[in-house]
């Protein structure tokens, strides 16, 4: 069965009441996506309910993070249970900013534990992996991605992969204007799929959707979408512009 394309917009720590309203209006009323693509937007947590009330109904709303377990005395955190209670279905975990910003520095262990709990509570997890510039330059892209995949696989069952989307985001390409060439992105995504085939199962590998993220734009999305192991995009800055619709529409170029 062909893998359904999936495009997500990570709004990061951006937005106001006015800008979110304007962006939602620019996306239009919806209803014209068809069955070829899933779409989600991930606003800052404080704006999620507001965004859900405004964004077209065929765009899902996602959280950018969640807590490692159930709620309780964890100031500032949001649990997977709460996300489900709000009628939301997606959460982004392991984003490079949460892995590498010195104020956060989440470990593979923490991220994979979050994934396990989120999956147990019915969420679809966008699991982000990717290498730093120095890791790519030293030929360690495959090693870094496989280490991060191994941490996840150690925590979840083969059946859980049905609700995992891998987002491959080379850290050096996020927000920099640099983008991996289609060949580089395809090579990394193919290696990810091969790792899943060898360490989980061939069937899981064939079914798992792999997004590319890193300075995706309306100008490069169609060429990237045509790569056989790229099943969508996790979009940063471009998701805050009306051009996001052009990126969503690139599913038509997918093989």
What would the two tokens of residue 133 be?
Answer: 């510039």
Using CA of residue 175, residue 181, residue 187, residue 190, what is the dihedral sign?
positive
DSSP 241: S
DSSP 254: -
The verdict on whether 223 is a catalytic residue reads no
Using CA of residue 51, residue 61, residue 11, residue 13, what is the dihedral sign?
positive
Can you tell me whether residue 208 is helix, strand or coil?
A: coil
Using CA of residue 185, residue 148, residue 192, residue 81, what is the dihedral sign?
negative
The verdict on whether 95 is a catalytic residue reads yes
Please identify which residue in the block is written with the tokens 């996306």. 27
Using CA of residue 57, residue 55, residue 95, residue 182, what is the dihedral sign?
positive
Q: How many CA atoms lie within 13 A of 33 on its CB side?
A: 24
How far apart are the C-alpha atoms of 79 and 110, rounded to whole Å? 14
Q: Which residue in 106, 162, 169, 222 is the catalytic one?
A: 169
Question: What is the signed CA dihedral for 172, 140, 42, 242, rounded to 10 degrees?
Answer: 40
How far apart are the C-alpha atoms of 192 and 221, rounded to whole Å? 20
Q: Which residue in 60, 95, 121, 135 is the catalytic one?
A: 95
How far apart are the C-alpha atoms of 138 and 130, rounded to whole Å? 14
Active site residue ranges: 95, 169
């Amino acid at each position: 069965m062909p893998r359904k394309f999936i495009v997500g917009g990570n709004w990061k720590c951006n937005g106001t009441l006015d800008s979110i309203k304007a962006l939602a209006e620019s996306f239009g009323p919806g209803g014209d996506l068809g069955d070829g693509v899933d779409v989600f937007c991930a606003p800052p947590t404080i704006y999620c309910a507001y965004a859900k009330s405004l964004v077209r109904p065929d765009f899902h709303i996602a959280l950018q993070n969640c807590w490692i377990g159930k709620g309780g005395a964890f100031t500032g955190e949001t649990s997977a249970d709460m996300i489900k209670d709000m009628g939301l279905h997606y959460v982004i975990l392991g984003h490079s900013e949460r892995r590498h910003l010195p104020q956060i520095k989440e470990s593979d262990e923490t991220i994979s534990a979050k994934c396990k709990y989120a999956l147990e509570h019915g969420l679809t997890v966008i699991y982000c992996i990717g290498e730093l510039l120095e890791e790519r330059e030293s030929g360690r892209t495959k090693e870094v991605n496989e280490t991060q995949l191994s941490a996840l696989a150690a925590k979840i069952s083969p059946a859980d992969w049905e609700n995992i989307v891998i987002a491959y985001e080379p850290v050096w390409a996020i927000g920099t204007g640099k983008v991996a060439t289609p060949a580089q992105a395809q090579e990394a995504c193919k290696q990810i799929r091969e790792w899943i085939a060898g360490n989980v199962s061939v069937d899981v590998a064939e079914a798992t959707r792999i997004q590319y993220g890193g300075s995706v734009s309306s100008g490069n999305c169609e060429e990237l979408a045509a790569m056989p192991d790229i099943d969508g995009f996790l979009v940063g800055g471009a998701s805050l512009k009306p051009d996001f619709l052009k990126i969503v529409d690139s599913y038509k170029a997918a093989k």
